[in-house]
Amino acid sequence: MNKALISVIVPTYNHDRFIGRCLRSLLNQTFARDRYEIIVIDDGSTDKTQSALVGFQDDIVSLRNDTNIGLPASLNRAIRHSHAPYIVRVDSDDYVNEHFLSVLYMFLAENRTMDAVSCDYLLVNDVEEVIGRKNCLDEPIACGIMFRADQLIDIGLYDETFLLHEDRDLRYRFLQKHSIHRIELPMYRYRRHDSNITNDGAADELHSARLIEKHEIGRAHV
């Protein structure tokens, strides 16, 4: 088997009703199947996520935390398990276009001056109806960005103390040394549903305040 060029990191926690859709989209890529791996990291799910993964065991690398250690620590564990030169995160309640990996990889592989690439995304609801198209740089999300692995390692991966806004902290640190380029194709499907919207206002405020303090940014940009 050829060495994987891309590691797709799929963090999951209690997403048994979504993860099958996510993985099917990742297995239906135009990019050569033997050149990418799918690493699923389950952060101690208490629903039927593990049962939902049974049918995919031959197609994924499955990691599971015995207890819930938090999203950033889970992401770091999966990234450290990877040996591919390119890393992209796809959350388990989302899904992607069949050309997602091919296009992002082409842009990075053919343009050595590009550090990372992100594609636009479609916002979809619980039943996959499109409710909006978003510019990935104007309204960035945590996923759909392909990084060069060595640059992610260089900035120290995810800060495991940010249990919320871990993606924003990573982005701020990455942009201090590197750049993220936009691909104006909506190849990512970002699902909006009740369980991916934080209802913990105090925790959100705490981590937002930490972002402001750490990166000396205005509250309007958090």
pLDDT for res 154: 95
pLDDT for res 220: 46
For residues 5, 136, 143 and 23, what is the CA-based torsion angle, rounded to 10 degrees?
-70
Q: Which of 17, 40, 46 is nearest to 27 (CA)?
A: 40
Q: 123 pLDDT exceeds 70? A: yes
What mean pLDDT comes out for the span 131-158? 96
Let me know if residue 56 belongs to a domain.
yes
Q: 206 pLDDT exceeds 70? A: no
What mean pLDDT comes out for the span 102-130? 95
Q: Please count the other Cβ atoms lying within 10 Å of the Cβ belonging to residue 140.
A: 18
Domain range spanning residue 148? Answer: 6-221
What mean pLDDT comes out for the span 202-212? 69
> What mean pLDDT is reported for the chain?
92
**pLDDT confidence band for 217 (50 / 70 / 90):** low
pTM: 0.91
pLDDT per residue as tens digits for the range 12-53: 999 999 999 999 999 999 999 999 999 999 999 999 999 999
Let me know if residue 1 belongs to a domain.
no
Let me know if residue 90 belongs to a domain.
yes
* Strand pairing class (116-124; 145-148): antiparallel
Q: What is the DSSP string of 165-198?
A: SHHHHHHHHHHHH--EEEEEEEEEEEE--GGGS-
Length of the chain equals 222
Q: 201 pLDDT exceeds 80? A: no
Q: What is the DSSP string of the chain?
A: -PPPSEEEEEEESS-TTTHHHHHHHHHS-SS-GGGEEEEEEE----SSHHHHHGGGTTTSEEEE-SS---HHHHHHHHHHH---SEEEE--TT-EE-TTHHHHHHHHHHH-TT--EEEEEEEEE-TT--EEEEE-TTTS--SSSEEEEHHHHHHTTS--TT-SSSHHHHHHHHHHHH--EEEEEEEEEEEE--GGGS---HHHHHHHHHHHHHHHT--GGG-
* Strand pairing class (180-191; 86-89): unpaired
Q: 87 pLDDT exceeds 60? A: yes
Number of domains making up the chain = 1
What are 54's two structure tokens? 């049974």
Amino acid at 128: E
pLDDT for res 212: 74
What are 17's two structure tokens? 């009703």
pLDDT per residue as tens digits for the range 153-166: 999 999 999 988 99
Q: 195 pLDDT exceeds 70? A: no
Rounded to a whole number of angstroms, the CA Rg of the chain reads: 17
What are 70's two structure tokens? 């938090």
Higher pLDDT pick, 217 / 210: 210
pLDDT for res 134: 97
Q: 221 pLDDT exceeds 80? A: no
**In CATH, what number is assigned to the domain containing residue 195?**
3.90.550.10
Q: 200 pLDDT exceeds 90? A: no
